Chains A and B, each alone.
Chain A
Amino acid sequence: MIHDQKTLAAASPIRSRGFLADMGRRFAHDPITLGAGGVLLVVALAALLAPWIAPADPNATSIVNRLRPPGTPGHPLGTDELGRDLLSRVIWGGRLTLFMGFTPVVVATLIGGFLGILAGYAGGWVNSAIMRGMDVFYAFPSVLLAVAISGALGGGLVNGLLALTLVFIPPIARVAESVTLQVRTQPYVEAAVATGASATRIVVGHVLKNVAGPILVYASSLISISIVIASGLSFLGLGVSPPDAEWGLMLSSLRQSVYVAPVNAVIPGAMIFLTSLCFNTMTDGLRHALNVKE
């Protein structure tokens, strides 16, 4: 009998743990996700607390101490090509890198989510106008599009963020639209209409709450991509400009010394790799915890 299990569950004392508690519990049983979360927590905390925990001024150069290997007294990760302390620069660089990873995704989720839900719920010509507009952006590979936009706007942090946001709006809008289309045809939406719910109440209440999960999971999977592309822009000289510490930029300037001090040159790249890997792992765990099927 189909209902047996459910009936049993209902017969036992009701323990409505709530959505977040449920999710937390599923997270706790997933050691890999927990590990990734731990690493990210350390990286994020280090970035947040940079002014207090960085051992040295990240921009203080010292010609005599150039390219010291990791383990040098006073410089645990060594120094870069201008003699700046690498550990301090990695800590400070995390700030900009994470900022450039997060901000575009957050902004794009708001804009793309709005456009996608609007397109999905309104349907008809509104849908066509919005989604065909998005398709234009889809014609370009995301990295190329980001490079093209920030190239056209000129380098700098703000233009880099703008470029990344524009790159992420179309995919998020597309996911939002398809999930909304799915939710819109659910019986509970019809049932809500049957109880006399207004269009606003249906969209804000039922649709938004049901599409939020899948959209957030998808958006969080973009953070790691955003970090990589943001570093890429800086690497190409289109994002953050020197002397600010940013992992992509550090990788770019240390690249010239890769034969002299290979370990030093690898450090910022390893940070980018580690962070985006952990974000990806977290996203998988999140998807699992939210039970989003794809």
Chain B
Amino acid sequence: MSKPLVQVSDLRVVVRGADGPVTILHGVDFSLEAGKVLCVLGESGSGKSMTMRALMRLVPRSATISGRVLIDGVDVLALRERELARIRGSLVAMIFQEPATALDPTFTIGHQIAETVRAHEGASWADARRRALDLLELVQVPSAARRLQAYPHELSGGLRQRAMIALALSCRPKVLIADEPTTALDATVQIQVLLLLRELQRELGMATLFVTHDVGVACEIADEVAVMYAGRIVERGSTEEVLGRAGHPYARGLLRSVVTSDLVGTRLVPIDGSPPELSALPPGCSFAPRCNHAIERCSAAVPELAALSASHRVRCARLGELEPAIPHAQEVST
């Protein structure tokens, strides 16, 4: 087993709010090898986006990050501002959720890509433009040469996201962070962009962190899956392990909310309640108030991430006591 490219341990983020500090991340640990895809699943507010931003230290000024983030041997949290700018885009790059607003409306696509290439590699404008053209072709933008001259508003959502991907790939990052890159797109375009990302990831051998709340997306491209809830990873493991034999009641609930054609005529089982207020988390397991299996012990202390197999970890106090998970589609239809 090679040494992981990304190593995150005990990552904590605290934001100073109007009513005192709020802890967004309560010690997140994971690692990722080169060339692998880790999908981070979770609802809105579970801290998945914050985790990704913390990796690049793209957090609001009111937030403080602690813990340890090692990317390719670089201690990201110890970098000074200037060094940080050098690794952003070249070592770690990010694809944003909303290509419509994450591209500057006043510059052409080509300019924005070329500018980044120039900033990192000191290339001439001509070279940078040539590279931008190559990149647009790489992300399969039709008539790429002309699209270089286009402003973001002149492109469709899918093309814009492709341009965004080209921008992220412009300086050959070793780690690509994709924060719900397909959420803002039409269903048909989503698939195209997803397939493109998978293809590029394999071709370029990037370690990829893929944030999504869509289990289907995770199935499609992930090697490993981590499920987040209220600022903690509650379950992680290989894709088959987490999606096939989920151990945590929340992860199971998440999988049960996937709609497939098998479910026609059956009732969907939602997870009761709503995500907890981050400023007032319950003691012990944060999911306990919504959990059908919660017992007194669950509220006593935050459960540790316990090993279910070599790679499969679950943060549940009743791990092993609950009935083994059965594939979700059958579970619902019976």
Name the CB-closest residue of A to B94: A194
Do A190 and B146 form a contact, CB below 8 Å, given A196-B90, A206-B104?
A: no
Name the CB-closest residue of A to B56: A194
* Contacting pair B96 A187 (CB below 8 A): yes
* Contacting pair B94 A210 (CB below 8 A): no
Q: Once the chains are docked, how many angstroms separate the CA of A1 from the CA of B156?
A: 12
Q: Once the chains are docked, how many angstroms separate the CA of A153 from the CA of B43?
A: 64
* Cross-chain pair count, CB within 8 angstroms: 105
Instruction: For chain A, residues 189 to 210, give those with C-beta under 8 angstroms from any C-beta of chain B.
Output: 190-198, 201, 205-206, 209-210
Is B8 part of the contact surface with A, judged by Cβ < 8 Å?
Answer: no
- Given A188-B101, A188-B105, A209-B106, list of 18 further CB < 8 A pairs? A1-B186, A6-B155, A6-B157, A9-B154, A16-B154, A186-B101, A187-B101, A187-B102, A190-B96, A191-B96, A191-B164, A194-B89, A195-B89, A195-B119, A195-B170, A195-B171, A210-B105, A210-B106
Residues of B within 8 A of A (CB): 56, 58, 61, 82, 85-90, 93-94, 96, 98, 101-108, 115-116, 119-120, 143, 146-147, 149-151, 154-159, 164, 167-168, 170-171, 185-186, 189
Name the CB-closest residue of A to B160: A6
> Smallest CB–CB gap between A75 and chain B, Å?
52
Contacts of A1 in B (CB 8 A): 186
Name the CB-closest residue of A to B97: A187
> Smallest CB–CB gap between A15 and chain B, Å?
9
Which of A11, A194, A197 has its CB near the most chain B CB atoms (within 10 A)?
Answer: A194
* Contacting pair B157 A3 (CB below 8 A): yes
Complex partner residue of A192 from B86, B104, B170, CB under 8 angstroms: B104
* Contacting pair B146 A198 (CB below 8 A): no
Q: Once the chains are docked, how many angstroms separate the CA of A9 from the CA of B156?
A: 8
Looking at chain A, what size class is its interface with the partner chain? 20 to 34
Do A14 and B101 form a contact, CB below 8 Å, given A195-B89, A198-B119?
A: no
* Contacting pair B105 A196 (CB below 8 A): no
Is A64 part of the contact surface with B, judged by Cβ < 8 Å?
Answer: no
Which of A11, A186, A188 has its CB near the most chain B CB atoms (within 10 A)?
Answer: A188
> Smallest CB–CB gap between B293 and chain A, Å?
40
Q: Once the chains are docked, how many angstroms separate the CA of A206 from the CA of B94?
A: 18
Q: Once the chains are docked, how many angstroms separate the CA of A193 from the CA of B85?
A: 7
Listed A/B pairs (10) with beta-carbon separation below 8 Å: A3-B158, A6-B155, A14-B149, A16-B146, A190-B58, A194-B89, A194-B94, A196-B87, A196-B89, A197-B116
Name the CB-closest residue of B to A212: B106
> Smallest CB–CB gap between B123 and chain A, Å?
14
Q: Once the chains are docked, how many angstroms separate the CA of A124 from the CA of B56?
A: 23
Do A195 and B151 form a contact, CB below 8 Å, given A188-B103, A206-B104, A210-B106?
A: no
> Smallest CB–CB gap between B314 and chain A, Å?
32
Contacts of B108 in A (CB 8 A): 16
Contacts of A16 in B (CB 8 A): 108, 146, 149-151, 154
Contacts of B159 in A (CB 8 A): 10
* Contacting pair B107 A209 (CB below 8 A): yes
Q: Once the chains are docked, how many angstroms separate the CA of A66 from the CA of B150?
A: 64
Which of B101, B104, B150, B186 has its CB near the most chain A CB atoms (within 10 A)?
Answer: B104
Per CB-CB distance, the 3 closest pairs between chain A and chain B, nearest first, are A196-B89, A196-B88, A195-B89
Contacts of B89 in A (CB 8 A): 194-196
